[in-house]
Structure 1
Amino acid sequence: MCVIIYDGTWEGWLTLVFEMFEFKVSVTAIYRNEQPLQQDIFVPWKRVTTDKSKAQRVWKGLQLRIPKYAQENLFCAFLSELPQIEATLCSAVCFYFSTVEEGHLAFGRNDVLTIHQTAKMVNRERHRMKAFTRFKKQKNGLYFAVIEPDFNVLPLINEHFMRRYADQRWLIYDTKRDYGIYYDLNLVSEVKLTNETVLLDDMVQLEEDEILYADLWQQYFKSTNIKERKNVRLHVQHVPKRYWKYLTEKSI
């Protein structure tokens, strides 16, 4: 039994799984990047170094054991960043690699059910980010959007926006996790602002037409709102308040 520390990446977690089997260790807890502040002196800890070849071997093995949607559920659950979700994933993967067939459907197990339920929450957030992401055109021609999702969904929405805005340079920045995805008309890559405050202030310099379009959109939203049929409860249900500060139509 041991406590595992890894770098917090998907490949790092797959490497962790490989070493669990290689060294035949039982994991009591998993931490990202840093050693836990309070640690049981009777339980040793191990730091896992990401190895792409090991990660690939584990992923190929999973592809043979479970269908594609179950593979995607694993990845979505990992992106939830919930406390100790990695340990739950490890428990489920060990079960998948056992002799049990269709282990991903064993919802009587707590780990399998948790992955299924967590993946649904992450996918719901992914769809909301597709709908609630608002770009603003900057003077340099870059379309810039700020989001703050509950889960780390940027890896799940990059292809959607690359297809939808294939002829525009854009940047979507997750302020909660301090990184973004940038499309340069060819590829999507991860970026991190070296000086977030300065760069964000610079990017707020909107193109003059963008200010006009934002005003028109706000006026349209306001004029189509029928006060007599206003249902705040239903509206908040579909558009939770935590997203409002990044919606152009709400900046009225």
Structure 2
Amino acid sequence: MDQIPRIFSYDGSFDGLLCAFAAADGEGLERCGFVVEGGGRPGLWPPTRVAVHAETAARFLERLRRSGGEGAVQHLVYVFLAEVQGAEPELYEFARLTLQAGTSVLGMRTNAAVRRVMDWKAKVGKEAHRCTGLLRFMELRDATLYARFEPDHNVLPLVAPHFQRRFPQDNWVIHDLRRGLALAWDGQELHPVVGVPENVDALLSRRETTFQELWREYVQALAVPERRNPALQRRFMPRRYWKHLVERPN
């Protein structure tokens, strides 16, 4: 009779996931399950609840860094931000293999878990890179720059540092509408924002409104109707991003 697999529950945070991995690895488990507390119907066997300890999470992450380098840590972070339901077992196997090997396992593409982790990481990285070029900042009346988007993955923590370097002297807010998350840069540090106004368009500066009108006229005048290629346009700029562009292509 096969042994009943252990199930660990955690609070849904990144530190919580690391603590769950540390608990499973501490018991020498090769395969086990992970669930987020309150995230679904309980199974036949209650999961083992793992408490969150920042020190435990930091130690596990440092072990992974020493074994697999920054690449292993980056893959762990990116896949967590991918928000793929049920990805924990593959991510745990990736981490466990890295710790066992004592070196990077990113060359082990024949391993299903490693391959899936690398594929998920690539999708998150691609979307984060794409969003750095597609975000449109709008000037509000108080001179704050505001940008909104609805990414498939939770790429806000990856996108914000890019604009921190790009606009270091400006005050700006990047708002993930899908998750209700926002990060602001005040010229000194990044910090989360609570309670972003719903109707931000009503707060635009007069100069911003004028620039938007001019930009739409420019894009319309520049377009050549005979060369319109909607399929190619969607290929380079998926339609789900269009509604947050100033030019709003049809």
Normalising by structure 2, report the TM-score: 0.91
1:1-252 pair list within 5 angstroms? 1-25=5-29, 28-37=32-41, 39-41=42-44, 43-99=45-101, 101-193=103-195, 199-201=197-199, 204-250=202-248
AA matched with 1:40: G
Q: Percent identity?
A: 24
Distance 1:164 1:19 in 2: 40
Distance 2:247 2:117 in 1: 35
Q: How far apart are 1:74 and its partner, in Å?
A: 2.0
- Kindly provide the CA deviation profile for residues 155-203 of structure 1, in whole angstroms up to 9, marking residues without a partner as x: 111110001111111111111111111111110112232xx6xx12256
| CA-based RMSD | 1.9
Distance 2:191 2:31 in 1: 33
AA matched with 1:215: E
Deviates further, 15-24 or 54-63: 15-24
Normalising by structure 1, report the TM-score: 0.91
Distance 1:132 1:138, change over 3 A: same
SS of 2:214's equivalent? helix
Unaligned runs of 5+ in 2: none
Distance 2:102 2:56 in 1: 23
SS of 1:104's equivalent? coil
Tell whether the 8 Å contact from 1:168 to 1:185 is kept in structure 2 after alignment.
Answer: yes
Distance 1:171 1:2, change over 3 A: same
Unaligned runs of 5+ in 1: none
Q: How far apart are 1:101 and its partner, in Å?
A: 4.5
Deviates further, 232-241 or 3-12: 3-12
Distance 1:35 1:223, change over 3 A: closer
Distance 1:203 1:220, change over 3 A: closer
Distance 2:220 2:36 in 1: 45
Distance 1:57 1:24, change over 3 A: same
Tell whether the 8 Å contact from 2:15 to 2:57 is kept in structure 1 after alignment.
Answer: yes
Distance 1:63 1:211 in 2: 48
- Kindly provide the CA deviation profile for residues 57-96 of structure 1, in whole angstroms up to 9, marking residues without a partner as x: 1111111111322321221111100111122111111111
AA matched with 1:122: V
Distance 1:251 1:181 in 2: 27
- Kindly provide the CA deviation profile for residues 77-132 of structure 1, in whole angstroms up to 9, marking residues without a partner as x: 11100111122111111111114654232111111000111111101100111011
